[in-house]
Chains A and B, each alone.
Chain A
Amino acid sequence: MQAIKHEDTAMLDETDRRLILATQEGLPLDPRPYAVIARNIGISAGEVMQRLQRMLNSGVIRRIAAVPNHYQLGYTANAMSVWNVPDESIEKLGKRIGALEFVSHCYRRPRHLPNWPYNLFAMVHATSRDEALEKVAEIARLLGDNDQGHDILFSRRILKKTGMRLTP
């Protein structure tokens, strides 16, 4: 990994890095998972817990949690809804849309005019295409006049899915 310079970047030392590499595939399914990790990287269980807690506090770790598979749970219609909203209101609007229970991610991204006028992206998860369209209509109602155009991009095929890995 490159030297860490970005101001948003928490200070991580070599032991933190080893701890990340040891846990990025998942937590051991052992009654004492942190003790198992500790043995694998040669520090104490107490230190593993202390370092994980510190990374949780600084936001390096968002949370320690289970990640469900949308498709396996019946959420087969996953739509990327994209919106053209006024820049001056985007923060307020983004927070309202992001808080909807069927929206998993909500981001601001740059427009590419004239081909791409949309600046707000909201991922919608539903069990059918009709349900996804209904949910997008709900977002449109919530936006009212601030909806200056939107589009829906259903996924047709996963071409690749590996996720980001720290290079050891």
Chain B
Amino acid sequence: MQLDQIDRQIINSLQEGFPVTEQPYAEVAERLSLSESELIARLERLLADRVLTRFGPMFQAEKLGGAFTLVAMSVRDDDFERVADIVNSFPEVAHNYEREHHFNMWFVVATDNPKRINDVLTEIELDSGYSCYNMPKQDEYFVKLKLVV
């Protein structure tokens, strides 16, 4: 999809935040010298075309009582699809990526019951026959939520 200057301004501005007021779109539109209806129409299109994956509150899972961890596995190439199917079958597995590395499978386990994390990893190890390298976040340095376009 082609983005014009106004789309870019909207994307840049809305990554920074959005007001909690009665008519927040009108407020943002005024700042960008747009009408409220044009801002809403463009946002609808950016979301429909998947230029934006989401627009709304970004929750911090840990503060909701949830827990996350990143897990790495080193899986033989001829066994990869079987193990991917096992890992993906767990609803607690939120993302799973194949990466170009000896550790070639990387997935995130996210749950609103922190006690489940170890059970999920144990079950995956038993079902797959491979070790899970658990790499939970120990500290976080300045997570940026903005990509300038």
Which residues of A approach B to under 8 Å, CB–CB?
1-2, 4-6, 8-10, 12, 20, 23-27, 29-35, 45, 49, 52-53, 55-56, 58-70, 72-73, 75, 80, 90-91, 94-95, 97-99, 101, 103-110, 112, 115-116, 125, 151, 153-164, 166-167
Contacts and interface: CB of A to CB of B under 8 A. Distances in A.
A66 B147 CA distance: 10
Contacts, number: 255
20 contacts: A5-B65, A27-B55, A30-B40, A31-B36, A59-B63, A61-B59, A62-B58, A62-B145, A67-B54, A68-B53, A73-B149, A107-B141, A108-B137, A110-B135, A115-B133, A153-B99, A153-B100, A155-B98, A156-B104, A163-B94
A162 B64 CA distance: 18
Given A6-B114, A68-B52, A90-B139, 14 more contacts: A9-B62, A23-B56, A26-B47, A33-B25, A49-B22, A62-B59, A62-B145, A66-B46, A94-B139, A106-B142, A157-B97, A158-B98, A159-B84, A160-B107
Contacts of B44: 29
Nearest to B97: A155
Contacts of B149: 68, 73
Contacts of B82: none
A125 B146 CA distance: 12
Contact of B65 (A2, A73, A161): A2
- The contact size tier of chain B is 35 or more
